[in-house]
Amino acid sequence: MQDSNDAELFSQEVSDVAPLETKRAHLSKTTKSPSLAQQARKLNAQSTPEQRMGLSSSVVAQVHPRDVLEFKRPGLQDGVYRKLRLGKYPIEATIDLHRLTLAQGQRELERFIHDCYQYGLRTVTINHGRGERDPENPARMKSHVAHWLHQMDQVLAYHSAQQHHGGSGVLYVLIRKAEAQKQKNRERFRMR
């Protein structure tokens, strides 16, 4: 009973209240279609790593045939990268891109990295050569391989190999674990 009395008293008290007048403009939300760049970013974010493999060769930084190449994604542990750099991980697969055109090399590299990712191979080498024989375009394949590897989400890091594995003509590449492998590890460590 008291609740109904309280409600009646409240209604009586506020019966002469009028809303305040405002001189604010009413903003309406306009719907703009996303730009082409926004659409491309959205598609890239929604796609799987396998779908994102289309590599570009638009602007490739030219490297010297004897340059040491190195790349590490943020978040990769320094100790893991150091072991990769020093060639301490067992090499599970290798590809040789010598004497291939850039188009063939790109195709073979994409296929190789994709296959390694799918089969759960983690440490591989890429033999791109130094490219010292072509004075007009030195280190052409080497420069493009470095550029392409930056674009591949499956690649966590790379570094020029130690001398006994080919030196500056070969790269050690660390590949991200596939989702299936991550799930196996989760299950394996949960069981213990």
Please, what is the average pLDDT of the chain? 84
Contact status, residue 152 vs residue 63, Cβ threshold 8 Å: no
Domains defined for the chain, CATH in brackets: 67-185 (3.30.1370.110)
Q: Please give the distance of CA 87 from its chain centroid, rounded to a whole number.
A: 23
CB 109 within 8 A of CB 128: no
- Per-residue pLDDT for the chain (192 aa), expressed as one digit of tens each? 566 788 888 888 888 888 777 777 666 666 677 766 666 666 656 654 444 445 665 678 888 899 999 999 999 999 999 999 999 999 999 999 998 999 999 999 999 999 999 999 999 999 999 988 887 888 899 999 999 999 999 999 999 999 999 999 999 999 998 887 777 777 777 765
**pLDDT, tens digit (0-9, with 9 covering 90-100), for 37-60:** 666 666 656 654 444 445 665 678
- DSSP string covering 126-154, please? EE-----S-SSSTTHHHHHHHHHHHH-TT
Give pLDDT, residue 182: 74
Q: What is the pTM of this model?
A: 0.66
Question: Which pairs from 185-192 meet CB under 8 Å and 24+ separation?
Answer: none
Q: How far apart are the C-alpha atoms of 126 and 134, rounded to whole Å? A: 20
Q: Could you tell me the two tokens for 158?
A: 């790379």
Report the 10 Å Cβ neighbour count for 36.
Answer: 8
